[in-house]
Amino acid sequence: MRVFLFWKLPSAWFMGIRVRSCDVEKCVIELPYGWRSQNPFRSTYFAAQCAAGELSTGILALAHLQGKPPISMLVTHIEADFTKKAAETLTFTCFDGAGFQSAIQKALETGAAQIFQAESIATLPDGREAARVKITWSFRRK
């Protein structure tokens, strides 16, 4: 996975983002706090948090595309709420596997673009929620 990040998403690789686990139901991503991911205010830069949130949803979508006919996927919208100062490692978890499966299946069946909004929740090491990142994906059969 580190080679994939280096080759396809070098900024995520540079920030030290790691995939902790992924199956068809959920994906867990870790974003370390450090000089590569922090802003001048000594917290994790919002763009690093959005990148980790997008990756946790995107990898989950890719898990549902395995063995399927070609489908294009595109981020069409992103929104985020930051509720706690993130000055520690963050864990981003997306539990939207069933939603991805449904949207991808409809895109395959209808040939029309299907929109799905996935949510990734960032937690601090003590379990407190620090952010919510919502990524809207579009899926369309190629």
Distance of CA 42 to the CA centre of its chain: 23
Cβ count near 89 (within 10 Å): 17
Give CA torsion, residues 9, 10, 14, 17, to 10 deg.
10
Encode pLDDT of 74-125 as tens digits: 999 999 999 999 999 999 999 999 999 999 999 999 999 999 999 999 999 9
Encode pLDDT of 44-87 as tens digits: 999 999 999 999 999 999 999 999 999 999 999 999 999 999 99
Q: What is the mean pLDDT of residues 24-41?
A: 93
**Unique residue bearing structure tokens 């900024």:** 11
Closest among 56, 100, 62 to 78, alpha carbons compared: 56
Residue 41, CA distances (Å) to 38, 44, 51 in order? 8, 9, 19
pLDDT given for residue 11 in this prediction: 81
Q: Which domains does the chain have, with CATH numbers?
A: 2-141 (3.10.129.10)
